[in-house]
Chain A
């Protein structure tokens, strides 16, 4: 096998690894890069993430804020306000399944932002949000 072939093989292995296993850090980096294109010098903020999380948006009567279902502590278990189903903690600090798959993350931002915020969330908001929950809800 030539060095070139080995190089290509390594690229494939690394690429496959990236495709199926994101981390909260890599997701924040991706959304930060996207946000920085609109706002040069954008830096994600756990404080802004927290206010996004607890703000009562006034769009949905049953689900005024993220915290309505997810509890006001991202490390705590939540409860769906309509069905009472338990919701596993959002914070990857206590629940490693969270923010590990970009398709899943995008799906839930799309649904829940429309539901609670009344529109899609921006890349900046997503970066802030993940920054906040990754720190276990501390700002």
Chain B
């Protein structure tokens, strides 16, 4: 019975992960500060370790911006990203953009062009425009507020 409960719990928790509801990571001030200045600190679970390694190698040209860190900080943050990185290839993109992963595309397939181009959104990098509680680690669909104020149902 106990093992059945354990299996159920594992199944439930991985289902929650797959739905992107729980993307919380232990507090990491360095990651939060360095990766969360120009955009929100994106959850490590949303790219693979290989993607994060490539990303941290190219911070001098980070989507058109210079985001370089010193070698020690870079290594510390990369270790954190690798530790919580995705293993499934649906979280991988050659462009290293989370918004180009198969997972992201499928999750947002019903989002209209007009929502994406709305003045309050403008960029796929701007998660919190709709995922208003994402910075607290809550990505659940119930918490989504579309730019026109409506819920996502």
Contacts and interface: CB of A to CB of B under 8 A. Distances in A.
Contacts, number: 38
B129 A80 contact: no
B27 to A, nearest CB: 18
A110 B122 CA distance: 28
Nearest to B33: A104
Contacts of A114: 66
Interface stretch (A4-12, A34-42, A82-90): A82-90
B124 to A, nearest CB: 10
Interface string B60-84: 0001111110000000000000000
B123 A83 contact: yes
Interface in B38-92: 38-40, 63-68
Interface residues of B, number: 18
A3 to B, nearest CB: 40
Interface of B: 37-40, 63-68, 120-123, 125-126, 128-129
Given A80-B38, A82-B64, A84-B122, 13 more contacts: A60-B64, A80-B39, A83-B38, A83-B39, A84-B123, A85-B38, A85-B39, A85-B126, A110-B66, A111-B65, A111-B66, A111-B67, A115-B65
